[in-house]
Amino acid sequence: MGIGVYFSDEELIANLRQEFDRDEQYRINFQQWLNTARYTNQGIILTVESRKFLIHEYTGTVIKEIVV
């Protein structure tokens, strides 16, 4: 089972890739970062390298990047 109930890990990775520049899209191994997922009342927070993203829990789309 993947991170989401309603979307696959592959769909999530495709959505995350859109948030990175062309060089990073295929250099980063997104699969290894899926274990950083934390579930909150706002959605799923996922860390990829030094960036954090809020993911919609039903669609797997990136809602926004969380800037700390």
H-helix or E-strand spanning residue 39: strand 38-39
Q: Residue 16: its pLDDT value, please?
A: 97
Could you tell me if 2 and 46 are in contact, meaning their C-beta atoms sit under 8 angstroms apart?
A: no
Convert the pLDDT of each residue in 4-44 to its tens digit: 889 999 999 999 999 999 999 989 999 999 999 999 999 99
φ/ψ of residue 8, rounded to 5: -90, 165
Q: Residue 30: its pLDDT value, please?
A: 96
Rounded Cα distance between 36 and 51, Å, is 11
| Tokens of residue 12, six digits | 């999530």
Judged against a pLDDT cut of 60, whether residue 1 lies above it is answered with no
Q: Residue 48: its pLDDT value, please?
A: 97
